[in-house]
Chain A
């Protein structure tokens, strides 16, 4: 199945205060302990999202709709992915790619000019069910330039 992530665009609209708790069964890829995340955005953050790990509060990410940085990004879900996500409707999906700041320390004082976004392993979330999965998109890079 092919789906463009652009369908999540309405959720990225300015002023969309937004918070949802999402369960990633089995955790993120290679990070099995990180299963529960709060995903937050608001007018100030948009189009960025804070992705805060409940299981380990010291763990958290910044994410964005991949189409913000790669307009032709196209998500592919395997039958297995769809099953794990509870067979979501197109309109129920939120797709977030994780941004890696230039420095892993992510100091606010340091401009993050060489930040990248991970298109290889986006988080796909069924908003209706509150379940998510990190799906591997082998045709994309883990270090897509964020620009700036």
Chain B
């Protein structure tokens, strides 16, 4: 990990296309400005972490997937759309 010290109104550039600027500091809160190409995804770390954890928790082993789907369906179907058969 690279650790840098920056002041307000200073910034840094990543890979030529992404620049991060320190806009303001208020106590333990730091306001950042990020300029990046539209194709670069910028997300709060904690949201990414939450989705990552949930992806891992939701994974079902191949052999059990269809069976779990069946038991889930019996649970959700009354609330879901009726079977048109």
Residues in chain A within 8 A of chain B (CB atoms) = 12-15, 28-31, 34, 43-48, 50, 52, 57-62, 64, 68-69, 79-80, 83-84, 98-101, 104-108, 110-113, 115, 118, 120-121, 134, 136, 138, 142-143, 146-148
Chain A residues with Cβ below 8 Å from B54 are 98, 100, 118, 120-121, 142-143
> Do B58 and A108 touch (CB < 8 A)?
no
Q: How many angstroms between the C-alpha atoms of A74 and B12 in the bound complex?
A: 36
> Looking at B41, B47, B54, which has the most chain A CB atoms within 10 Å of its CB?
B54
> Do A111 and B71 touch (CB < 8 A)?
yes
> Do A50 and B55 touch (CB < 8 A)?
no
Q: Is the interface of B mostly helix, strand, loop or mixed?
A: helix
B2 within 8 A of A: no
The answer to whether residues A112 and B80 also contact, given A28-B55, A60-B62, A98-B58 and a CB cut-off of 8 A, is no
B59 within 8 A of A: yes
B26 within 8 A of A: no
> Do B58 and A68 touch (CB < 8 A)?
no
Chain A residues with Cβ below 8 Å from B3 are none
> Do B41 and A80 touch (CB < 8 A)?
yes
Q: How many angstroms between the C-alpha atoms of A134 and B57 in the bound complex?
A: 16
Which chain B residue shows the least CB distance to A12? B81
Query: A15-B85, A30-B55 given. 16 additional CB < 8 A pairs?
Result: A13-B84, A15-B84, A30-B49, A43-B85, A52-B62, A58-B59, A58-B62, A68-B80, A68-B81, A84-B39, A98-B55, A101-B58, A115-B75, A134-B51, A143-B54, A148-B76
> Looking at A60, A83, A84, which has the most chain B CB atoms within 10 Å of its CB?
A60
The answer to whether residues A108 and B85 also contact, given A80-B38, A80-B40 and a CB cut-off of 8 A, is no
The answer to whether residues A121 and B55 also contact, given A68-B81, A112-B68 and a CB cut-off of 8 A, is yes
CB distance from B29 to the nearest CB of A (A): 18
